[in-house]
Amino acid sequence: MLKLKGIILHGGHGTRLRPLTHTGPKQLIPIANKPVSQYVLESLRDAGVKDIAIVLGEIFPEKVKEYYGDGSKFGVKITYIYQGKPLGIAHAVGLCEDFVGNDKFVVHLGDDLIKGGIKPFVEEFEKSDYDGMVLLCKVNNPQRFGVAQFDENGRLIRLVEKPKEPPSNYALVGVYFLTPYIFNIIKQLKPSWRGELEITEALQGLIDHGKKLHYKFIEGWWKDTGTPEDILESNRLILDELKHEILGKIEDPSSIQGRIFLGEGSVIKKGAVVRGPAAIGNNTIIDSNAYIGPYTSIGNNVIIRSGEIENSIIMDNCQIEMEGRITDSLIGPFSTLTIGKNRKPSGLQFIIGERTKIVINRNLTR
């Protein structure tokens, strides 16, 4: 049986995630200490898709290549294709015609997460005679997505991009199973009002040409990680499934409660409190005056000297020393956060980009 090829779309500006995306693509933002797009790559790999193209945008594409390399350390083979400016998903797919050749393939947005992965869908599409297959998920806000319309017999008849009046509550998940026929349709597309070649129009072209466009509903959760709120919710969902594993050192076993992942070379010092689910990377120090609350991910080479942190993501190489509480925050790599000891706020919320330094004056008491 022929194996599908895979395409991961790694472009876009990530404007809703600024300032984090001023220094890197949104798909490399870590969730539970792993870049979003690594979950996508591993989902493809675990489904048997190991010949993968990554389509790069114009936001620090070299960081993507530096992280993934040739793919060998992840058990896949990676080809890089440059899109540059975000001219639409269909445009990005069209750039992959030579890579795809005559094979079936699956396109996966690099910032979409699906519980349980896509293995059963890959297996079904491989065995089928479908010209395309899409995944759908019921959502509360279909206006944000491409939306499916069905006839009275449940047949997929129309796909609409971000409709003001959605024909259903079923959104297109960012995973598309296709054959090379789609390239004929993409070549005929015209840019939408957004200046992009829309994937919904390409898929609609399959329907209009009388091709077999199948659909499947996903049963678990699906997250489009396009906003800080989406990132934090995805972090919670993944940490909910965290396996307890201690590779580092805990000076006092009573310091930890619940499920914790503690990486190699990391230390939770006596007097600290860590309540899971929480993930702590490698070579990180949680000092004796620190409290790490549930649904917090802390990266590698971090020092938390004091303070309270809950429901947040602290990225690599940060230093935090404070008396107050940080909640619902994203702290970019190489950032320093210091809060004076006379300030005791009830809670602080941050979205901080890479190499940020924040010092709140200890004389501020109001």
Per-residue model confidence as pLDDT tens digits over 113-149: 998 889 999 999 999 999 999 999 988 888 888 888 8
CA 163, 168, 174, 156 dihedral sign is negative
Number of domains in the chain: 2
288: containing domain? 245-360
**Residue that the structure tokens 């010949």 belong to:** 51
pLDDT the model gives residue 355:
55
Do 235 and 273 lie in one domain? The reply is no
Helices first, then strands: H and E counts in the chain: 8, 29
Q: Which amino acid is at 204?
A: Q
Which tokens is 319 given?
A: 């230093």
Q: Where a domain ends, among 220, 239, 258?
A: 239
Do 285 and 352 lie in one domain? The reply is yes
Which candidate, 28, 161, 152, 178, places its Cα nearest to that of 94? 178
Do 148 and 268 lie in one domain? The reply is no
Domain membership of residue 366 (yes or no) is no
Do 173 and 255 lie in one domain? The reply is no
Do 103 and 220 lie in one domain? The reply is yes
pLDDT the model gives residue 2:
57
Q: Where a domain ends, among 239, 257, 290?
A: 239
Domain membership of residue 252 (yes or no) is yes
| Other CB atoms within 10 A of residue 227 CB | 13
Look up the CATH number of the domain holding residue 41.
Answer: 3.90.550.10
pLDDT the model gives residue 364:
42
Which candidate, 207, 218, 216, 166, places its Cα nearest to that of 185? 207
pLDDT the model gives residue 365:
41
Domain membership of residue 208 (yes or no) is yes
pLDDT the model gives residue 335:
87
User: Which parts of the chain have pLDDT scores under 70?
Assistant: 1-2, 12-24, 340-366
pLDDT the model gives residue 291:
96
Q: Where a domain ends, among 203, 220, 239?
A: 239
> pTM of the predicted model, to two decimals?
0.88
Do 265 and 217 lie in one domain? The reply is no
- pLDDT over 70 percentage in the chain: 89
Q: How far apart are CA 17 and CA 7, in angstroms?
A: 23
